[in-house]
């Protein structure tokens, strides 16, 4: 159920983002939201003054939590070349900073 307050094992959400000409096509992200402890751990990693550490933390998060992007599973090679805007949309979704699609999540 989309309005649940618990994250059960195997729970996924979907987020659809409208296309932005010149930036990205329409995006449909299916992901597993993180628990609070993982959110805190991620925040700690990205607080590093080393931008490579922060970028790697985002890519690791996507690899671990993103089920698919536009129906495609993302391997390490694809994650490495994501456009920055798309990468940020995925990260924001996983961390719960952006809402999922309520209608698409009713089956969860």
Report whether 19 contacts 25 (CB < 8 A): yes
**Alpha-carbon gap, residue 88 to 102, rounded angstroms:** 20
Position 1 pLDDT exceeds 50: no
The pTM of this model reads 0.86
Q: What is the mean pLDDT of the chain?
A: 90
Report whether 96 contacts 33 (CB < 8 A): yes
Q: Which tokens belong to 7?
A: 């994250």
Q: Which tokens belong to 84?
A: 């920055």
The CATH T-level fold of domain 13-105 is rbstp2171 (3.30.2220)
With a pLDDT cut of 90, the percent of the chain lying above it is: 72
At 76-108, the pLDDT tens digits run 999 999 999 999 999 999 999 998 887 555 555
DSSP 70: T
């Amino acid at each position: 159920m989309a309005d649940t307050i618990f994250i059960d094992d195997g729970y996924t959400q979907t987020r659809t983002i409208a296309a932005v000409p010149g930036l990205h096509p329409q995006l449909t992200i299916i992901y597993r939201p993180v628990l609070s402890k993982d959110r805190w751990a991620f925040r700690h990693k990205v607080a590093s003054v080393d931008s490579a550490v922060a970028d790697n933390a985002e890519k690791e998060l996507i690899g671990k939590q993103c089920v698919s992007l536009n129906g495609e599973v993302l391997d390490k090679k694809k994650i490495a070349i994501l456009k920055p805007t798309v990468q940020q949309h995925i990260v924001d979704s996983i961390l719960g900073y952006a809402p999922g699609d309520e209608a698409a999540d009713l089956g969860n």
